[in-house]
A and B are shown apart, each in its own frame.
Chain A
Amino acid sequence: SQQGEEDPQALSIQEGENATMNCSYKTSINNLQWYRQNSGRGLVHLILIRSNEREKHSGRLRVTLDTSKKSSSLLITASRAADTASYFCATSLSGGYNKLIFGAGTRLAVHP
């Protein structure tokens, strides 16, 4: 079974709006990462947040992590049509090496 589950499964917004995606996981983690995938091919790493961090920013991206609730959120501000993609959270489990467990992803569509 998958460790991470994203919510919502699909999100449709207009350019300029903010997009928020959520991820929940089940077991203790070393870190949580967000990746983007265009057109069902290779994934691109967006941001990594460690278990002892609560918030992290990178450009228009803001990630939060609540280890007590075993959840994370990814906020994309001022979205653009080019942000249209699938977004996946991936967890690196405590006590193990860097094998990532991926969720099923959120499909984001940003309309001009």
Chain B
Amino acid sequence: GAGVSQSPSNKVTEKGKDVELRCDPISGHTALYWYRQSLGQGLEFLIYFQGNSAPDKSGLPSDRFSAERTGGSVSTLTIQRTQQEDSAVYLCASSPPNTDTQYFGPGTRLTVL
């Protein structure tokens, strides 16, 4: 079946611009996660959605970052007034109910010039 998809695969933007990154989780998966990975580093947790519960935003690095999940499915991560340090690969993952395994999308590589 279809896996987690993310779009765009690559995004180049200018400092100060806003960007939106999209994640389509696997159908039926109730949990959705966003991570950020800087070059050569591990994954940094950003935000977590579970069903209709309030999201855990504890990993968002600043108030320039926000995320929504509409209808319990598609999620959008928005970065306002991008900075060069925001350049990274942004990864989305989803999990089915009562499962600890996360299924990752291919990521969006964001480059802020």
Contacts and interface: CB of A to CB of B under 8 A. Distances in A.
B42 A45 contact: no
A72 to B, nearest CB: 15
A89 to B, nearest CB: 9
B-side interface size class = 20 to 34
Q: How large is the interface on A (under 10, 10 to 19, 20 to 34, 35 or more residues)?
A: 20 to 34
Given A97-B48, A98-B31, A99-B56, A42 B106 contact: yes
A73 interface: no
Contacts of B111: none
Interface string B60-103: 00000000000000000000000000000101010100001111
Interface of B: 4, 31, 33, 35, 37, 39, 41-45, 48, 50, 56, 89, 91, 93, 95, 100-107
Interface of A: 2, 4, 30-31, 33, 35, 40-45, 48, 88, 90, 92, 97-105
